Amino acid sequence: MDKFHSLKGIAAPLPIVNIDTDMIIPKQFLKTIKRTGLGVSLFYEMRYDNDGNLIKDFVLNTSPYDQSKILVTGDNFGCGSSREHAPWSLKDFGIRSVISTSFADIFYNNCFQNGILPIVVSPENLDQLMTAAKNQIEFTIDLPEQVIKAGNHLIKFEIEEFRKERLLQGLDDIGITLGYKDKINTYEEDKKNKKPWLFKDN
């Protein structure tokens, strides 16, 4: 997995609440068997008209936001389906961090699997950052220090230690778990004896 240390750039403001994963990447793009190539379809219905032309006033279609690596957006971002295509499309577009007041659980988790840092801030701080993003003030996100800098704003954020480490080091989660294979096998043997119906493997 790609590492994440720090990030600098103009953040794109998208002040809409409850952006669901259908809005992030609509169903017609879930037919792929690859993880890559989805960036062009990110926010498809907000970004393109019925004829497939770019909608000029959508934020990610305008300079400098079309190069943004950071998205500042409304409450409960990423609600709905479990599709990992949502973080895949964000990442493929170039977004490596999303800032909101809250995220849906599955989306939040999926971000970390893909080297994307979702950051939760207070509603007051979100308002400040949204304004800064609209004014094209440069953001710096520093993961080791757990801080966002934007103009005069210096905002600390929380992140679970294991998630931080995984992002910083770009760790392979499956590789880590396979280090506990003996424990898993022991658990299974014990369970086979105690709850045999669970192992009626058809």
Partner 1 sequence: MSNQGPKTLFDKIWSEHLVGQREDGTNLLYIDRHLVHEVTSPQAFEGLKISNRPVHRPEATIAVADHNVPTINRQNIEDPQSKIQVETLAKNTKEHGIQYFDLMDQRQGIVHIIGPEQGITQPGMTIVCGDSHTSTHGAFGALAFGIGTSEVEHVLATQTIVQNPAKNMRISVNGELPFGVNSKDLILYIIGKIGTAGGTGHVIEYAGSSIMGLSMEGRMTICNMSIEAGARAGLISPDQTTFNYIKGRPYAPGTEHWDQAVEYWSSLPSDNDANYDHEIVIDSSEIDPMVTWGTSPEDVVSVKGTVPNPSSAKTENKKKSIERSLEYMGLKPGTKITDIKLDKIFIGSCTNGRIEDLRKVASIVKDKKIASHVQAMIVPGSGLVKKQAEEEGIDKILKDAGFEWREAGCSMCLGMNPDQLKPGERCASTSNRNFEGRQGRGGRTHLMSPELAAASAITGNISDIRDFT
Q: Does the protein bind partner 1 through residue 105 (CB under 8 A)?
A: yes
Residues 67-86, one symbol each (x = binds partner 1 by CB under 8 A, - = not), give -------xxx--xxxxxx--
Question: Interface with partner 1 includes 158 (CB under 8 A)?
Answer: no
What's the min distance (Å) between Cβ of 141 and partner 1?
A: 22
Binding segment for partner 1 among 3-11, 128-136, 140-148, 161-169 (CB under 8 A)?
161-169
Query: Which listed residue (3, 16, 136, 170) binds partner 1 by CB under 8 A?
Result: 16
Which 3-state string (H, E, C) describes the chain?
A: CCCCCEEEEEEEEECCCCCEHHHHCCHHHCCCCCCCCCHHHCCHHHHECCCCCECCCCHHHCCCHHHCCEEEECCCECECCCCCHHHHHHHHHCCCEEEECCECHHHHHHHHCCCCEEEECCHHHHHHHHHHHHCCCEEEEECCCCEEEECCEEEECCCCHHHHHHHHHCCCHHHHHHCCHHHHHHHHHHHHHHCHHHHCCC
Residue numbers at the binding site for partner 1 (CB under 8 A): 16-18, 20, 22-23, 26-28, 30-35, 45, 50, 74-76, 79-84, 87, 102, 104-106, 109-110, 113-114, 160-162, 165-166, 173-174, 176-178, 180-181, 183-184, 187-188, 191, 195-198, 200-202
